[in-house]
Structure 1
């Protein structure tokens, strides 16, 4: 499992999306129990890492991790709003929101943006439409 997948698994651990978290733990079965740990022990370790990251990181850094890497949509939306409030720029609020949103959810390849996963509409990535009016 790559580093990003491990980070996603840690960020999901203990969040409201318990079933998604369990799926990510199960996806790591190819690692021979992750050093001999059981599924439950690995989940508990991920919860501890999540708690440690949340305590040690600045709120804007925590929101950045959540906005970019978590799969929990409610938590992601809260983090995106939080980042929109702390970004220092002369741009208007509408522009900042779209900039944070498209950073958090980059455009994915596919025919006309159609994929099985939820993605943003293709026109959201057009900066010409980010005008305040």
Structure 2
């Protein structure tokens, strides 16, 4: 299986870990007799590729870069939360710790459009998106925005570095399609 882009590969690989046997999915892949005997094909083959890519990236990427991808793209809430907290601890900023954690949390769980931002269960309560609650001391609004922008820029830089590394890994494995735009 080849992926159209590195982001597509990362998203599918991270989503593969949340797939379980609920909803009629089989743990064992089905061998499809209509094709070559013993060959796994179709969605089972795609799932196996996604699992392989997940393992390959997890092993090959440095821990900080892997955590950046998990915090940004994972659908596994516990792993996403753990990665987000680890990233928050590595952010260099003059902002107080509570502000850094809140800025990182709202970056990892962005407010989505829709009724009160509740199109998804992966949205924080509305009060989390209020920057005035991110620190115990009153801070000027310009300072809050500057801190928030710097923190998000740092987090996005980490994600971009991780995607570049993942691109190299997946290119070496021949898993990214080379179609011209």
Partner residue in 2 for 1:95: 99
Q: Tell me which of the two structures has the higher relative contact order, counting C-alpha pairs closer than 8 angstroms and 6 or more residues apart.
A: 2
| Deviation digits for residues 24-77 of structure 1 (CA, Å, limit 9, x no counterpart) | xxxxxxxxxxxx942222112111111121122221211111111111111111
Structure whose residues are more often helix by fraction: 1
- Aligned partner of residue 18 in structure 1, secondary structure: coil
Question: Which of 100, 113, 119 is matched with 1:115 structurally?
Answer: 119
Alignment partners' CA distance in 1, 2:117 and 2:4: 25
Unaligned ranges ≥5, structure 1: 24-35
Alignment partners' CA distance in 2, 1:116 and 1:81: 21
Contact 2:64 2:87 in 1 (8 A): yes
Please list, as runs of the form range in 1=range in 2, the aligned pairs for 1:32-47 lying within 5 A after superposition. 37-47=41-51
Q: TM-score, normalised by structure 2?
A: 0.56
Task: Note if 1:10 corresponds to 2:16.
Answer: no
Alignment partners' CA distance in 2, 1:114 and 1:12: 21
Alignment partners' CA distance in 2, 1:2 and 1:104: 24
Unaligned ranges ≥5, structure 2: 25-39, 138-181
Structure with higher Rg: it is 2
Alignment partners' CA distance in 1, 2:4 and 2:113: 20
RMSD between aligned residues = 2.7
Q: Runs of 4 or more off by more than 6 Å in structure 1?
A: none
Partner residue in 1 for 2:108: 104
Alignment partners' CA distance in 2, 1:104 and 1:118: 9
Aligned length: 118
Q: TM-score, normalised by structure 1?
A: 0.74
